Chains A and B, each alone.
Chain A
């Protein structure tokens, strides 16, 4: 991209930057006790939790940095953080 007018940028261009490569841990959705409370979606700082269907969730591997807040806040312990083997 060329430099325009002091570095003007179009919105949303950071989608190209897949920060998911930064993580060490990643969440696993066990889908055993999920009550569809959606708290995991609310607390994810990077908006990386995706609701696929009723009581079925997953994470966005492109951007999830593995902070672990979803796992920590899940009221029914349905999410576990595991070391990502790359």
Chain B
């Protein structure tokens, strides 16, 4: 869904790359391709470098008016194995929009932990058990890393707010230089959540403060999505996903949930997410 929103906003005049992952696997199973725009999948870790090559070619061939370049990747292809290529692309200032579909694990290979897997999350390589609460590490702060490279536009978004995703994509494509948008995309099989509730789950992530939605321009936070005045506790978000259910089942889980609440509180503090208004009816907001 994330990809669909990005492409809807970007229009047909793009060339896009993608890292190895669910997205390219299910969309390019020969002899069929679901992409209506020019698309190239190379390897797991080089989406950003291939995009840099495409951008350089368009420049060299005098075809920059023909298409914008969008690099896509999942959390692995962005924050872990793909980090080097992303760093190089950002540092060299290529005119490329990089979109990270953050579903918080290596989903295509069967739900293994990534650098963007949240704290205490159960995955196949960070399972909860008698001696473990799941992933003991916090999410890698990719937006900060990208901003530190001097990228003019860095944003996080969520498919809970589809129009916001489209707005950010359109805005980014109007800026010259390297741009980064990290979109939170729940994966129902990976998160063990109800497919029909995907938007609601994504919304809870934002409303609890666990997934701050904001924009940074030239390294400074310029816009944030405020969360409702009456805060939703993280338990509301955690309990609708099987990947956190051990926190409710194992004795001592309340302590872990408190730690997660603290992460949410820190985010709210850091990005100034505390809102003045109460939420409107639970519709898909813009």
Interface of A toward B, CB cutoff 8 Å? 1, 3, 7, 9-14, 16-17, 37, 39, 42-43, 45-47, 67-69, 71-73, 75, 81
Judge whether B253 is part of the interface by a CB distance below 8 angstroms.
no
Q: When A and B form their complex, what is the total count of cross-chain residue pairs whose Cβ atoms lie within 8 Å?
A: 63
Judge whether B4 is part of the interface by a CB distance below 8 angstroms.
yes
Other contacts beyond A43-B284, A75-B283: 15, CB < 8 A: A7-B30, A11-B33, A11-B35, A11-B37, A13-B33, A14-B27, A14-B32, A37-B283, A39-B283, A42-B162, A42-B163, A45-B1, A72-B196, A72-B200, A81-B196
Task: Give the residue name and chain of the B residue nearest to A9 (CB).
Answer: B33
Judge whether B220 is part of the interface by a CB distance below 8 angstroms.
no
Contact B195 A68 (CB under 8 A): yes
Interface of B toward A, CB cutoff 8 Å? 1, 4, 27-28, 30-39, 162-163, 195-200, 281, 283-284
Task: Give the residue name and chain of the B residue nearest to A40 (CB).
Answer: B284
- Expressed in whole angstroms, the Cα–Cα distance for A3 and B198 within the complex equals 38
Task: Give the residue name and chain of the B residue nearest to A39 (CB).
Answer: B284
**Interface class of chain B by DSSP:** loop
- Which residues on B sit within 8 Å (CB–CB) of A75? 281, 283-284
B158 to chain A, nearest CB (A): 13
Contact A13 B162 (CB under 8 A): no
Contact B162 A9 (CB under 8 A): no
- Which residues on A sit within 8 Å (CB–CB) of B27? 14
- Which residues on A sit within 8 Å (CB–CB) of B35? 11-12
Contact B31 A9 (CB under 8 A): yes
Given A43-B162, A47-B4, are A72 and B199 also a contact pair (CB < 8 Å)?
yes
Contact A9 B30 (CB under 8 A): yes
- Which residues on A sit within 8 Å (CB–CB) of B200? 72
